[in-house]
A and B are shown apart, each in its own frame.
Chain A
Amino acid sequence: MSGVLLELDRLAMGFGDLAVIEEITMHLARGEFVSILGPSGSGKSTLFKLLLGEHRPASGTIALAGGGDRRSAFAYMPQRDALMAWRRIIDNITLGLELAGMSRRTARRKVVPMLGRFGLEGFERSYPDQLSGGMRQRAALLRTIVQDRPILLLDEPFGALDALTRMQMQGFLEGLWTQNRWSSLLITHDVREAVLLSDRIYVLSARPGRVIGEFDVALDRPRIGSAGLAAAASAIEAQILDLLLNTNPDAKDIVS
């Protein structure tokens, strides 16, 4: 791992009297895949909204390496796929490029060669409603990565998929990531997903969300479908589950 790319320092935020996240400190190194794992209501999505500037933190700081501009640092993949029903698949994928000022022609020329790898060849002129859940998710992922931004923010990208499609998508993402090593933050409440995909995992408590644990996942890749790693992965999973299930969210003196 080369240096730290993104650093959150004692970030806190709430709505009115309701504290949503408390004193969250975490970092992301260049080329690192980090998951943020927590129960629903632990403020995971709020954390992304803070990074994206949708909300302002009550306290704490967000710092990018080299003082980079936060507005162009993140390629965001929202929950569900957020594909626009009224745009054809190709136009959904090029959306970010066009908003960045690229001409439609140039944007398409950049995207078209990647369609095959994403299993979308022949569907570029289809509308999202004509595609299966897995294809929609791959289109949303492609829309995210073609923006060529320094950090990927993936907010439960596979949460709405059926179990089988989700496993296929996890394998697909792992394969892509292994080739490209994008610096990525993944929000999930799926422990197995976090272990299979991440270099490091932060575990959040229930609301107000705090970091109650940090796990290094030092397993070889590819991990998905690798029988030899199953035992080691299960051990980490068990540790995380134990932490998540046996933590009393009301206790003030939680030790990770």
Chain B
Amino acid sequence: MFSSSAFGPSRLGRALALGLPALLTIGALVLAWEAYVRFSGLSQTVLPAPTTVAAQAFAQRAALWANAVPTLQATGAGFALSLCCALAFSMIIDFVPMMRRVLFPVFIVFQTLPLVAIAPLIVLWFGFGLGPKIGLVALVTFFPMLVALVQGYGSTEREIEALLRSMGAGRLRVFLLARLPSALPYFFAGLRISITYAVVAAIFAEYSGAARGLGIYILNAKNSFRPDLVLSAVMVSAVLTLCLFALVAAIERLAMPWRHIHKEPTS
């Protein structure tokens, strides 16, 4: 039986203690930035102080939120598409090893396409709607997850597979019972990398042409010489990414309970 401390208050305390150094570092950076703007005499139209950015973000909260929603939609939908593709292609590669040599070069080429060049083209071809944004997010986040999954399948203990076969399991059973669960830790490592790219990719896609979204908001703010608003939107995107990252971490814990247990015998 499990000890109930897995969700007790000591864990909350530990999580806070773990987060403290990061919070202190960010706090120190913001303080240094504020002090630099105050004492260098630099115009706030060139480099606004963090307090100005925060005040503007608050004043513009309705507009920022209205523009964050389509960005989040593009991120979520693009990521979901990417996830499905990564799973499907990783399985194809796992079941037909020859496909690895067929598909990997193509994916690597896609991964190395400069976003600066490809995003405006995709918008040009597919228009200002949600579709091209979803596609770009998927394009950017797909490869790390695919590589993680393929490597994860390969990490399966051979003896577990031999055991399953001795029990009469076929290829699909071996995949579902052993290879897929073995790949989960790798998959989540790839997922954590991908999710940090996802919001940036969505913003970039919007930057190349959109009706609404943080990307277009940033573009407009830049064109009106409002660095404070640009940075407000950047702040929102950073918070979004952090939230998505935390969400992935939470899902990871739920999906792999065996990785988060006390290692010594219980009860």
Interface residues of A (CB under 8 A from B): 49, 52-54, 71-72, 74-76, 78-80, 82, 84-86, 95-96, 99-100, 122-123, 125-132, 135, 147, 153
Contacts and interface: CB of A to CB of B under 8 A. Distances in A.
Contact of B178 (A75, A76, A84, A135): A84
B160 A126 contact: no
Contacts of A96: 167
Contacts of A125: 1-2
A33 to B, nearest CB: 19
Contacts of A78: 159-160, 162-163
B261 A127 contact: yes
Interface string B245-267: 00000000000111001111111
B258 A147 contact: no
A100 B1 CA distance: 28
B24 to A, nearest CB: 34
Given A82-B159, A86-B181, A86-B258, A100 B168 contact: yes
A80 to B, nearest CB: 6
B165 interface: yes
Given A72-B168, A99-B169, A130-B266, A82 B160 contact: yes
A130 B267 CA distance: 10
A123 B258 contact: no
Given A52-B166, A54-B165, A76-B166, A86 B256 contact: yes
Given A52-B166, A54-B165, A100-B168, A123 B160 contact: no
Interface string B156-190: 01011011111111000100011001001000000
A252 B256 CA distance: 55
B210 to A, nearest CB: 42
A170 B266 CA distance: 25
A147 B159 contact: no
Contacts of A54: 162, 165
Contacts of B168: 71-72, 99-100
Interface string B183-199: 01000000000000000
Interface string B5-46: 000000000000000000000000000000000000000000
Contacts of B166: 52, 74-76, 153
Given A99-B169, A100-B168, A49 B181 contact: no
Name the residue in A85, A122, A125, A131 with the highest tally of chain B Cβ atoms < 10 Å from its Cβ.
A85
Contacts of B261: 127, 129-130
A52 B167 contact: no
Interface in B78-98: none
